[in-house]
Homo-oligomer: A and B are copies of this chain.
Amino acid sequence: MIPLSAPSRVITAGAGLLDEALAAQAVPTTPVDWRPPLPGTAEALVKVLADPRRQAANELAAGRLTAARPYLVGVRRASEVLAEGTFLHAGPPISWERASGPMRGALIGAMLLEGLAGDERDAEARLVAGLAAGEIALRPCHEHATVGPMAGVVSPSMWLFEVRDEEHGGTAYCSLNEGLGKVLRYGAYGPEVLERLRWMDEVLGPALAATLELAGPIDLRALMAQALQMGDELHNRNRAATSLLLRELAPYVVEAAPGSAAQVLRFINGNDHFFLNAGMAAAKVSTDAARDIPGSSMVVAMARNGTDFGVQVSGLGGRWFTGPAGVPDGLYLGSYGPEDANPDIGDSTITETSGLGGFAMAASPAIVRFVGGEVADAVRATRSMYEITLAEHPAYQIPGLGFRGTPAGIDVTLVARTGLLPVVNTGIAGRVPGTGQVGAGLVRPPAEAFVSALLALADAVTDPFE
């Protein structure tokens, strides 16, 4: 019964039915989200929330994440840091047998690039045989202080951004971005893909390495803070950050690599996602600073291999908690549609893990033209992420929200309590190997990854009465 004798305000919780009914009667309402906790988490939640270490551990974790000062210190060939015969890939560990189309496509491409196979079939046969014989190793990027977008395959002839956290001393790597269209990270491995990768190995990599030696470290925290004020969310939109990095490096490119400067600058200008990989390494080095804090329920990695979506938690070491990767909901290129989409893939969710990407969409109203939806949806996505995060980032601010810091540091207990899953902003790969990108959109991680992480946190709580 709604009293109508005075101006009323009704707070409606949960499902929208009541709210809509009242709105239809012109009763002012204040809708409030309410969702039940994730199923099967009640007991574990009680135990984890009562863990006396939790609060201090999470404060430390979120503090280290948001205090990190990532600097781009160099560009180096993966062969310098990667053992021969090792291929890195995105997401949690995966076997060839369970690997999706774009993951297989990217691995085939890497075999061809490295001259380890003559053609596609040969590459596949040698991969299977090499893996069985232990001559080839397939390892997650995350286990090698590295991240890779989409398939995330890194082989020795690829070059990496090297990012150092000047606050805590960590180092992280990410491959160089190949550009758009048919590219290895989306599972394409045709001649134009390999030709581009060879040019990147012979020209781009050495030129950028020389440029960074001359330019000295680039403060990525400052650059990314600027880019957020310029409409990037730093996952699916990197136009501002790419522009800011290019303008900072341009004079040094000319001085360090005069012969290839025009080519290099043209390549970077041709790809608005060029910055993404540097930003991913910055996010990786920042979340790594928050790892291994006993009792912390903060997420330090979210990553997908195209089959599984995996989560790592600060208090639980290097363990992965996984569930099936979903198919993003978004806008498709050309005549592609959802039936062409591979499940969610890539380490680029490290941006969301650090409070960027889907979490910073309110800074990027123009992103809706790329991933779908309305500007209000983007603002709502960011606002809802404050419900499941531990901190507001002091440097990464959203002008449109009155310079509020981005929501940073996902807490597994808050996810379980609210049932609110992280918002991920992502590219969509074609599921058939060799296709490339088919779209971009939004996706949520599988709830089971967070449920199993929570159960593991509960198991790890030391009962003071035992």
Q: Are A229 and B231 in contact (CB under 8 A)?
A: yes
Q: Are A265 and B269 in contact (CB under 8 A)?
A: no
Q: Which one of B247, B252, B261 lies within 8 Å of A254 (CB-CB)?
A: B261
Q: Looking across the interface, which residue of chain B has its beta carbon closest to that of A362?
A: B400
What is the distance, in angstroms, from A101's C-beta to the closest C-beta of chain B? 34
Q: Which one of B27, B229, B239 lies within 8 Å of A366 (CB-CB)?
A: B229
A residues 390-437 near B (Cβ < 8 Å) are 399-400, 402-403
Q: Is A255 an interface residue (CB 8 A)?
A: yes
Proximity bits, A228-261, B CB within 8 Å = 1, else 0 = 0111000000011011101110111011001001
Q: Are B251 and A266 in contact (CB under 8 A)?
A: yes
Q: Looking across the interface, which residue of chain B has its beta carbon closest to that of A6?
A: B4
Q: Are A265 and B251 in contact (CB under 8 A)?
A: yes
Q: Are B262 and A251 in contact (CB under 8 A)?
A: yes
Q: Is A192 an interface residue (CB 8 A)?
A: no
In angstroms, Cα B239 to Cα A243, docked, is 10
Given A254-B261, A365-B399: A239 and B246 within 8 A (CB)?
no
Contacts of A134 in B (CB 8 A): none
Q: Is A8 an interface residue (CB 8 A)?
A: yes
A residues 12-62 near B (Cβ < 8 Å) are 26-28
Q: Is A268 an interface residue (CB 8 A)?
A: yes
Q: Are B243 and A247 in contact (CB under 8 A)?
A: yes
In angstroms, Cα B403 to Cα A258, docked, is 41
Q: Is A7 an interface residue (CB 8 A)?
A: yes
Q: List 10 A-B contacts (CB under 8 A).
A: A5-B5, A230-B239, A230-B366, A242-B247, A243-B244, A246-B246, A247-B265, A251-B262, A252-B262, A375-B399
Interface residues of A (CB under 8 A from B): 4-8, 26-28, 226, 229-231, 239-240, 242-244, 246-248, 250-252, 254-255, 258, 261-263, 265-266, 268-269, 365-366, 374-375, 399-400, 402-403
9 closest cross-chain pairs (CB), A and B: A365-B399, A243-B243, A251-B266, A254-B262, A229-B366, A250-B265, A230-B230, A251-B262, A251-B265
